[in-house]
Copies of this chain bind each other. A is one copy, B any other.
Amino acid sequence: MRKFNMSYVRRVGALEDSFLGSGLPYGTARILYEIGLGAGTVQELRIRLGGLDSGYVSRMLRTLETKGYVTVKPDPADGRRRLVELTEDGLKQWDDLERRSEERAHQLLDPLTPRQRDRLNEALATADLLVRAATITIEQVDPRDPMAQEAMGHYFAEIGDRFGFTVGDEGFGDDPSLRPPHGAFFVAASDGAPVACGGVREFDGTGEIKRMWVDPAWRGAGLGSRLLRHLEAEALRLGHTVVRLDTRDVLSEAIGVYERAGYERIDRYNDNPHATHFFRKELG
């Protein structure tokens, strides 16, 4: 991997140079590009760019503003925040960056045969997926946290359970049992977007895993197993030596994950009307 970095950056790093030739310094061009990918608040921008200094970003936005490439206005939802978006001129600049970058990439790949180009694309796609997978972070959050809510939204939508939330609630059933001290909820995120979630709670004297979901695009990448290990560790920490869970036949990939993780089929242990399969595992 390190060998690849050295060699790749030396050769292709120049791709980034295409940001130049736009009359903008690299940092400023990067910000312009990022705004073009999606307008938003200054703060979002800073995070997406990897935590740049607020003063630094502010100054660059001022530059872009005086050049007429972006507009900055207060966020109606929170007067402290400011919303940034591209002007028409800014969009033109952005398209320009995009085109130049595309051109450079084509030129670079020109000497390759079509078959080699296909192989390269495939290899890069694989590498990208795996690196993304490696940099997914699993974090414990409150089930009422927006990220958790978003993830559970996907979960309930997928199992077609329109009753996952109580009418009148603002979000999906805030199950207090999934919060400390006797429970926990985890969200796995990639680039700030939730790609998997799951919770542990106590039920009938043992640990129980609930609401485990993995983004369809991420299935088969080992993320389910990783999350499950995380949940089991938490169950153990909460003092359980046995965990159980129920699931339904629609979630076929999930069933595979449980089986490969050493779960054994058991009889129905609760009265969940939607559940079709029940599992159990000894921990420790």
Contacts and interface: CB of A to CB of B under 8 A. Distances in A.
Contacts of A2: 15, 101-102, 105
A113 B12 CA distance: 28
Given A2-B101, A121-B1, A126-B120, A131 B7 contact: yes
Copy number in the complex reads 2
A2 B14 CA distance: 12
A72 interface: no
Contact of A133 (B3, B111, B135): B111
Nearest to A48: B10
A189 to B, nearest CB: 13
A8 interface: yes
Interface string A119-153: 11101111110111111100000000000000000
A120 B111 contact: no
A141 B101 CA distance: 32
B132 A7 contact: yes
| Residue of A2, A9, A124, A125 with most partner-chain B CB within 10 A | A124
A111 B131 contact: no
Given A105-B2, A128-B3, A222 B121 contact: no
A135 to B, nearest CB: 5
A126 B128 contact: no
Interface in A9-26: 9-12, 15-16
Interface of A: 1-5, 7-12, 15-16, 50, 101-102, 105, 108-113, 116, 119-121, 123-128, 130-136, 221-222, 226
